Amino acid sequence: MKIDFHAHVWNTQLDQVGEFAERLTALGTDAAVVLPIAPYMTNESIADLVKAASGKVIGFASVVPFAETTGIPREDPLTTLGHAVETLGLRGLKLHPLIQGFALNDPGLVPVVSAAGDLGVPVLVHTGPANGRAGRLQNGEINLLDDLAIMCPNTVLIAGHANPLSDAPYLARKHKNVYLETSISWARWGKLIPGLVRQVIEDAGPDKILYGTDFSLGRDQRVTDTNAVIDATGLPDADLALVYGGNAARLLNLS
Ligand SMILES: [Zn+2]
């Protein structure tokens, strides 16, 4: 089973869910976690995608976590998140420190991140740089998750794009609630440095890695590049099964 834990259907592609599902099948992906970014996409649009995609889309919610430093007007994030999970059936929360304008260790995150834990859903946060965005790079520094993991011990935190050259594996090893998601950075660095991806999986533990590609329509290469570096590790099939889908199924209560 292959679950891509990081994919997008952008606002302009909402009527192309059929094509999206077809591409996933062609690429060998059984289902993809589709991540919105509030306030630029609505949770309702993601719930509609899930309904239309006959099992191929696992929908996450997004909220603007607080207005004080982000400056982005927002609905009450706890109400929005509760509605998204309990009424719309979304299965996790996505937060983006650069686009939404906060640092990953801002204590203002604690209410909404803890609420996700109380609702039983994981929180995927973007880490590292983002192309073409105005956000401050230091806000997405992966080591800031060290603080958030301590402040919100009962919430599963997933480091999106977890850089394999960073301290990511130590974060995952140190905190039982921190997981690493592979999109973009693993293909980029794994291609250049043979042995790196295997080492990171062994250091973090194969039960702490979530396969993700940042796939969206037209981005097939991201899937094939990520598959290539993970397949090349030569790890036992049982470990690869965890990375490719077993861990995701466990965290999302799919099994
Ligand atoms: Zn993404």
Banded pLDDT at 69 (limits 50, 70, 90): low
Helix (H) or strand (E) holding 52: helix 43-52
- The CA 99 to ligand 1 mean position distance, Å, reads 11
Residue 255 pLDDT greater than 70, yes or no:
no
- Per the DSSP assignment, residues forming a β-bridge with 157 are 123, 178
Instruction: Report whether 36 contacts 60 (CB < 8 A).
Output: yes
Question: For the chain, first and last CA: distance in Å?
Answer: 11
**What is the Å distance from ligand 1's center to 174 Cα?**
25
Residue 76 Cα, ligand 1 centroid: separation in angstroms?
A: 24
Using the mean position of ligand 1's atoms as its centre, give its distance from the Cα of residue 8 in Å.
6
**Per-residue model confidence as pLDDT tens digits over 97-118:** 999 999 999 999 999 999 999 9
User: Helix crossing, 43-52 with 17-27: angle to 10°?
Assistant: 60
SS3 202: helix
Contact 244, 212 (CB under 8 A): no
Quote the CA–CA distance of 149 and 81 in Å, as a whole number.
Answer: 19
189 C-alpha vs ligand 1 centroid, how far in Å?
17
Average pLDDT over residues 13-42: 97
Dist CA 112 CA 252 (whole Å): 18
Distance 6 CA to ligand 1 centre (A): 6
Is the pLDDT at 133 greater than 70? The verdict is no
The 10s digit of each residue's pLDDT in 203-248 is: 999 999 999 999 999 999 999 999 999 999 999 999 999 999 999 9
State the chain's maximal CA–CA distance in angstroms: 48
Q: Which domains does the chain have, with CATH numbers?
A: 3-251 (3.20.20.140)
Residue with tokens 């690869």: 240
> How far does residue 94's CA lie from ligand 1's centre (Å)?
10
pLDDT for the residue numbered 145: 98
